[in-house]
Structure formats: structure tokens, C-alpha cells
């Protein structure tokens, strides 16, 4: 894997998917970067927040590796959310698919600053490439042009290139093409889930009888372990992430079962529900496991609704 001669780092607002999802930065629904990883006819159109429109002088080159970084929250460091391979920087233009996108509230169409046919978007729960603290990135900053860069940026460049290599070798070993964006890779998601399940089984060990509840409808947990000596039962809902951040998705049923079983536990029931969060599930050296009961979940996590079920108030909608 060769080292690109042109590398750019672009600071954008945070989104969980960048295919139209909400942004949690300054611009929210109006932010152009919310569509940075939504392809149109196999091409990705990425937006750069304005910085005096000072794009690199050799912007016509189609050999840019462009990293997009964002802060999960204002007080947290920036992390890599994805990148473009072999991108072309073009300045500022209106997206070709703008008519199919929601209308801007201020009547300005969604625009783009770079385009590429190969892109990698890191899932929100797997964004673990943290940029060094204290490093201030402008809305657009190119860190290497024509193979030259400042000595002060060498550490940042090497960090980014190592991360890119780790992600690509960890999947297909090659840059991901066209619509096959990393965030929608079902095979990777399956590998993470299986690794997380295996890690919890290993953590409990041989002193427990084991039952797999993953295919039991409405169970509200994945694994069940019964202590061979005490009879105590642990009902474990497993969440795995590819990165080191404590981020996961949980269903309404899972939360309800956790709440109900904690009430029974406090009343003396031997059944205990726990959510097991396995971070860096695919890397045994970095893997971590944390257990939470329902009260601890409510205390430690903020729950954001990403989707609602809409049901007609007047019966079946016509």
C-alpha cells in the first residue's frame, strides 16, 4: 500500500452515517456534509466547510487522500469518521443529485468540494482513531502536497496512514469501491457480533451452564449462564463494537426486559440481566468488556432516538 503524495484533513460536523442523517454540530439539518458518504451514480461528493475558500493550488489532481474528522461532542477530541481515496478537489459546486435531496431551509442547495469513486465511512461505534489532543485543525487543512509536509505534521500523517492500513487490511485488504461503504458492510458487522459473543462466553468460563437465546423472539438478551453451584442466572445482552468508544444500539424490548428483570433482582430473584459491552471486539489485545445493569445504563449513557414507528391515530391510514 503506497503512501499518497497528497493528503488532506477536513473538519466537519458529527453524524452517525453521513448519508442524510442529522448533524450534531453547528449546522444540523442545513449542513452540507451530512451527505458526504451518500453516492450518486457511484460517485461520492464531499463538502468542505468554508475557510476563506483556500483550497490547495493543485486541486485539479485526482490523487488526494482526504480524511474527514469530527468531534462526537464539543469537549471531546476529533476522530476520523471516514475518507476518500484518489479524490479530486474541485472547489465549490452544487451536488448533481440535489433535486432528490431535502430542500435547504435557507434555500441554498447542497454543495460539494471534492469527488471520489472510492470512499470509506467508519461506523459511529467503531470510530476509534483519535487525533492528538491539543491539535487545532481548521475547517480545511492539507497536510501533504506533492509529497512534502512540515515536520510538525509528520506524526499526524503517520497516525492517519497506519489507521487507514489497519482498516483496509482488516476488511478486504483493498480500498472499498462504489456503494460498498464500510458502514454498511454486513460481513464486518457479523464478525464483530460473533467476536463479542465469543468474548463473553470465554469471560464466564466453565463454571456455568450455557444457553443461547439469540434466536428466541422477545427474549431481550442473547446469552444465559447458570452458575453450577449457586443456581444464579445471568441473562446477558451482548453489544460489540469495532472501536474503543462506548457506543451501541439497543432496542425498546431490550431496555424493557433489563428494567423489569432489575426490579425482580432487587426483590430477590436469582435472575440477573446485564448488558455486556465488548469494545475493539476484533482485536484481542485491545478488547475490553464492561457490564451494566439497567440503572447503570441510565446513569452512564445518553439515549438518542434515531428512528420512530409512526402509527395512525385513526386506525388504518388510507
- 202 assigned to some structural domain: yes
Cell of 238: 451482548
CA-to-CA distance for 26 and 130, rounded, in angstroms?
Answer: 21
Classify 276 as helix, strand or coil: strand
Domain boundary among 142, 159, 184: 184
**Regarding predicted confidence, which is higher, 126 or 185?**
126
Q: Say if strands 233-240 and 118-121 run parallel, antiparallel, or are unpaired.
A: unpaired
Q: What is the mean pLDDT of the chain?
A: 82
- 257 assigned to some structural domain: yes
Q: Check residue 282 and give its pLDDT.
A: 82
Q: Which of 22, 24, 6, 5 is nearest to 14 (CA)?
A: 24
- For residues 62 and 89, state if they share a domain: yes
Read off the pLDDT band of 54 (50, 70, 90). low
Tell me the pLDDT tens digit for each residue of 229-288: 999 999 999 999 877 778 888 999 999 999 999 999 999 999 999 999 998 888 888 899
Note whether 80 and 160 are within 8 A (CB): yes
Burial letters for 15-30: b for 16+ Cβ neighbours within 10 Å, e otherwise? bbbbbebebbbeeeee
Burial letters for 94-109: b for 16+ Cβ neighbours within 10 Å, e otherwise? ebeebeebeeeeeeee
- For residues 93 and 202, state if they share a domain: no
Range of the domain at 36: 6-184
Note whether 82 and 120 are within 8 A (CB): yes
- Mean pLDDT for 52-75 is 74
Structurally, the chain folds into a number of domains equal to 2
Q: Check residue 258 and give its pLDDT.
A: 97
Domain boundary among 133, 149, 184: 184
- Is it the case that residue 183 has pLDDT exceeding 50? no
- For residues 161 and 23, state if they share a domain: yes
Q: Check residue 107 and give its pLDDT.
A: 61
* CATH number of the domain that residue 209 is part of: 3.40.1350
- 141 assigned to some structural domain: yes
Q: Which of 230, 193, 235 is nearest to 210 (CA)?
A: 235
**Regarding predicted confidence, which is higher, 170 or 131?**
131
- Is it the case that residue 302 has pLDDT exceeding 60? yes
Q: Check residue 173 and give its pLDDT.
A: 47
Strand ranges of the sheet holding 271-279, from the earlier edge strand across to the other edge: 208-212, 223-227, 233-240, 271-279, 288-292
- Is it the case that residue 59 has pLDDT exceeding 60? no
Q: Check residue 68 and give its pLDDT.
A: 94
Q: Measure Cα distances from 279 to 55, 167, 207, 276 in Å.
A: 38, 16, 24, 10
**Regarding predicted confidence, which is higher, 167 or 256?**
256
User: What pTM does this model have?
Assistant: 0.61
- Burial tier of 175 (Cβ tally within 10 Å: 0-12, 13-18, 19+): buried
Amino acid at each position: 500500500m503506497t503512501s499518497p503524495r497528497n493528503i488532506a484533513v477536513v473538519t466537519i460536523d458529527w453524524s452517525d452515517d453521513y448519508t442524510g442523517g442529522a448533524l450534531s454540530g453547528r449546522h444540523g439539518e442545513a449542513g452540507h456534509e451530512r451527505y458526504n458518504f451518500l453516492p450518486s451514480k457511484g460517485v461520492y461528493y464531499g463538502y468542505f466547510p468554508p475557510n476563506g475558500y483556500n483550497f490547495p493550488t493543485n486541486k485539479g489532481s485526482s490523487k488526494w487522500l482526504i480524511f474527514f474528522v469530527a468531534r462526537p461532542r464539543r469537549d471531546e477530541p476529533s476522530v476520523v469518521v471516514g475518507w476518500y481515496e484518489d479524490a479530486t478537489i474541485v472547489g465549490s459546486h452544487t451536488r448533481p443529485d440535489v433535486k432528490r435531496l431535502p430542500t435547504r431551509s435557507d434555500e441554498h442547495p447542497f454543495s460539494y468540494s471534492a469527488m471520489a469513486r472510492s470512499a470509506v465511512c467508519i461506523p459511529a461505534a467503531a470510530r476509534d482513531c483519535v487525533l492528538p489532543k491539543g491539535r487545532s485543525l481548521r475547517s480545511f487543512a492539507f497536510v501533504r502536497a506533492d509529497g512534502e509536509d512540515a515536520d510538525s505534521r509528520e506524526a499526524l500523517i503517520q497516525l492517519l496512514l497506519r489507521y487507514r492500513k489497519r482498516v483496509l487490511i482488516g476488511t478486504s485488504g483493498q480500498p472499498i469501491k462504489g456503494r460498498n461503504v464500510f458502514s454498511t458492510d454486513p460481513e464486518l458487522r457479523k464478525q464483530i457480533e460473533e467476536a463479542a459473543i465469543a468474548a463473553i462466553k470465554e469471560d464466564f468460563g466453565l463454571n456455568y451452564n450455557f444457553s443461547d437465546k439469540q434466536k428466541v423472539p422477545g427474549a431481550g438478551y442473547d446469552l444465559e449462564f447458570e452458575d453450577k453451584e449457586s443456581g444464579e442466572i445471568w441473562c446477558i445482552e451482548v453489544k460489540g463494537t469495532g472501536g474503543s468508544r462506548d457506543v451501541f444500539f439497543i432496542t425498546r424490548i431490550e431496555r424493557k426486559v433489563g428494567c423489569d428483570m432489575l426490579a425482580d433482582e432487587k426483590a430477590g430473584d436469582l435472575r440477573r440481566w446485564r448488558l455486556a459491552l465488548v469494545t475493539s471486539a476484533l482485536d484481542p489485545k485491545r478488547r475490553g468488556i464492561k457490564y451494566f445493569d439497567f440503572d447503570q445504563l441510565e446513569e452512564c449513557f445518553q439515549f438518542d432516538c434515531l428512528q420512530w414507528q409512526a402509527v395512525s391515530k385513526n386506525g388504518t391510514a388510507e
